[in-house]
Amino acid sequence: MKSLKTHKIKIPIGNPDIGKEEIQAVVETMRSGWFTQGEKVEQFEASFAEYCGAKHGVAVNNGTAALHMALAALDIKEGDEVITTPLSCVATTNPIVYQNAKPVFVDVDPATLNIDPALIKRKITRRTKAILPVHLFGHPIDLDPVIEIAKKHGLYLIEDAAQAHGAKYKGKRVGSFGNISCFSFYADKLITTVEGGIALTNDEELADKMRLLRSFGMSKHEKFQHSVLGYNYKMSDIHAAIGLVQIRKLDHNIESKRHNITYLKKRLKHTSLKLPLELDYAFNVYYVCHILTKKKKEKIVEHLERKGIETRPLLSFIPEQPPYKKYRYNLTDLRVAKDAHERGFYVSNSPSLTEKELDHLASTLNKSVGDAHR
């Protein structure tokens, strides 16, 4: 794609809602004299776990750390295989490799772009230890068949819910189905702690193990005694203080995002663009507005950028990333994911988008599709 001239961004991909309450919470925490991991982190863990319907939360410094800690707690190690999606942020699979295990990719469902449960069985081997699906862009995967497969084959289930805060599967919030479920609180997520993540579980033993792992493997009751090789993945009270305010905004943010998508789908229903959907079993929180084109994606994206609408590629097709080429994946088994990556991109679905901005986005998309087909 041609390089574009610099311009003022009118609709950035992310626009975090950080206001006076969050600023005040940070100031109060700093003035308290304790702002590393402490009571605020414990409060945030309890509050977010309760929101998601899980018993235990272990907050960390980012979502990647949450996934790494989860895999380590489940003793995923060299020689093991973890089944996951080829279409995601590379943060989903990197922690598998950190553990010297191998990511095994299963193609995605063309409707949701989530891992296709019907294709999982054929990828299970004697080395398979876990299934790590992603609730991509805020739409839950079809969990029942995945849970059934995991139980039948004695596999762990790890939910990557980094983009799915508040999403529901058959009326129940995601994050409470897996052995461990992981979220990100990066600046562009549904709620943010600026940097941060959390692992949720209903297993007290796993929660205790993850708390040990995030703090150098050091026991809370025996300072500088390290029973296991741990990490420094702690969240600070400053970040947790922001998160406690943000949790109160989460349902409103979801409502706004759902309104935005309804508006855009109505305005764009006569175009050839494929916009996000919501299947019967799901409550989609629409993390972003991802779009699939029939052709000439580059021309559409260029037009949007010239009109001040920031875009992003449809995350990563991970098997083709340089660190993963050594595994020599059979890409013909991953055609749907590869095609979606080639035809897809996303734009903002910030809860703060105004009516004027939504109109600008819809009008520009309509015009860009018309121009692309000429």
Catalytic residues: 189
Which region, left, alpha or beta, applies to residue 226 given φ > 0 means left and ψ of -120 to 50 means alpha? beta
CA distances from 126 to 60, 286, 324 (A): 32, 36, 22
Distance, in Å, from the CA atom of 251 to the CA atom of 255, rounded to the nearest integer, reads 6
Block residue for tokens 């553990």: 99
The encoded tokens of residue 214 equal 């995030």
Taking a C-beta distance cutoff of 8 angstroms, is the pair 285, 258 a contact? Answer: yes
> Which helix or strand (DSSP H or E) is residue 71 part of?
helix 63-73
CB atoms within 10 A of CB 191: 23
Q: In this structure, are residues 198 and 45 in contact, taking their beta carbons and an 8 Å threshold?
A: yes
Buried b (16+ CB within 10 A) or exposed e, 105-140: bbbbbeebbbbbbebbeebbeeebbbbbbbbbbbbb
Q: Please count the residues of the chain.
A: 374
